[in-house]
Structure 1
């Protein structure tokens, strides 16, 4: 396993690596949620103007 990104003088511990990965994953999921929320409101806005009533 390569550790080129980790400086040899101060190697990161497994816990620190996991925390950084979880923070990056959380940021990605937050962005995905925001994108989904934004795309989900577009069709609702088109329907709520009364143009598509049954």
Structure 2
């Protein structure tokens, strides 16, 4: 890997927007990111469950998108 592709801020914390002096701003940001990740994973699980319900009984999806 060339040095041009390495960011200069390695080893430093990424810039965090000012939280008006509130302690735990990073913790709050992490909690918000985790909540968003959990919501995304829940949606993905729901999508996978609904697609599994549409799978034929033999367990393999039909090669054609529409019933023939």
Q: TM-score range by the shorter chain?
A: 0.5 to 0.7
Aligned length: 46
Q: How does 1:1-54 map to 2 (within 5 A)?
A: 3=18, 6=20, 11-13=21-23, 16-48=24-56, 50=57
TM-score w.r.t. length of structure 1: 0.63
Question: Cα distance 1:24–1:51, how it changes in 2: closer, same or farther (>3 A)?
Answer: same
SS of residue matched to 1:47: coil
TM-score w.r.t. length of structure 2: 0.52
Structure 1 residue ranges (4+ consecutive) displaced by more than 2 angstroms after TM superposition: 50-54
Partners of 1:36 and 1:45 lie apart in 2 by: 14
**What is the aligned-residue RMSD (CA, Å)?**
3.0
What are the ranges of 5 or more consecutive residues in structure 1 without an aligned counterpart?
none
What is the deviation of 1:51?
Answer: 7.9
What is the deviation of 1:39?
Answer: 0.3
Q: Which has the higher helix share?
A: 1
